[in-house]
Amino acid sequence: MLSLEQLSQIVKVHLGLYNYSEGIQYSCKWDISESALGGRGLFATEDIASGEVLFVDRPLIRGPRITAPRGCTVCGRLLNSDTFFKCHKCSCLLCSEECQDSATHNEDCAIVSGWNNKVPIEEVDDILLSRALTPIRALLLNEDQKLLMAALQAHILPQHGSEIRDLIKYFHIPEEATQLLTLACCALDTNAFQIATAYGKKEVSMRGLYPVSGLMNHNCVPNTRYSYNGDNQMTVKAVKPIRAGAEIFTCYTGTLWGTPSRRMYLYKTKHFLCQCDRCADPTERGTLLAALKCFSAECPGSLLPTQPLKLSSPWQCLQCGLRVPNKNICVLQNALGNLMSTLDFENVDQLENFLVHRIDKYVPKTNQIVVDLQCRLIWEIGDKEGLQWHELSESRLSLKENLCRGTLRTVAALGVGDAHLRGLLLYHLHAALAERARRFPDLYEELKTEIECTIEQAFNILQGDISAPPDLELRHQYLGPGCDKPHQERFFILDA
pLDDT in tens, 193-252: 999 988 878 888 999 999 999 999 999 999 999 999 989 999 999 999 999 999 999 999
| Judgement on whether residues 29 and 133 belong to the same structural domain of the protein | no
Question: Do residue 83 and residue 14 come from a single domain?
Answer: no
Question: pLDDT band at 487, cuts 50/70/90?
Answer: confident
With a pLDDT cut of 70, the percent of the chain lying above it is 97
pLDDT at residue 495 in the model: 66
Instruction: Examine the domain organization and report whether 50 and 73 are in the same domain.
Output: no
Average pLDDT of the segment spanning 283-300: 96
Query: Are residues 121 and 169 located together in one domain of the fold?
Result: yes
The whole-number average pLDDT for the span 426-447 is 94
Q: Are residues 176 and 226 in the same domain?
A: no
pLDDT value at position 207?
95
Contact present, 466 and 229 (Cβ < 8 Å): yes
Answer whether residue 171 shows pLDDT above 80. yes
The pTM assigned to this predicted structure is: 0.91
* Residue 285 lies inside a defined structural domain of this protein: no
What's the rounded mean pLDDT across residues 461-465? 94
Going from the C-alpha of 281 to that of each of 55, 170, 252, 324, the distances in angstroms are: 32, 50, 19, 18
Asked if 154 and 182 sit in the same domain, the reply is yes
pLDDT beyond 90 at 45:
yes
**Looking at the predicted structure, is the pLDDT value of residue 23 above 80?**
no
In a domain, 282, yes or no: no
In a domain, 342, yes or no: no
Q: Same domain for 228 and 113?
A: no
Task: Say if 80 falls within a structural domain.
Answer: yes
At residue 37, the pLDDT reads 87
Whether residue 486 sits in one domain with residue 451: yes
- Indicate whether 123 and 75 sit together in one domain: yes
Domain containing 157 equals 69-197
pLDDT level of residue 153 (50, 70, 90 thresholds): confident
Predicted confidence at residue 26, as pLDDT, reads 63
CA distance 203 to 85: 17
Q: For residues 467 and 409, state if they share a domain.
A: yes
Provide the strand spans (E) within 68-190.
85-86, 93-94, 116-117, 171-172
How remote is the C-alpha of 222 from its chain's centroid? 13
129 within domain boundaries: yes
Number of domains the chain is built from = 3
Listed residues 172, 197, 222: the one ending a domain: 197
Select the more confidently predicted residue: 17 or 73. 73
Same domain, yes or no, for 440 and 479? yes
In a domain, 301, yes or no: no
Quote the CA–CA distance of 374 and 378 in Å, as a whole number.
6
Confidence class of residue 68 from pLDDT cuts 50, 70 and 90?
A: confident
Give domain status of residue 325, yes or no: no
Q: Is 414 in the same domain as 483? A: yes
Q: Which residues, other chains included, contact 225 with Cβ-Cβ below 8 Å and sequence gap of 6+?
A: 236, 237, 239, 417, 418, 419, 420
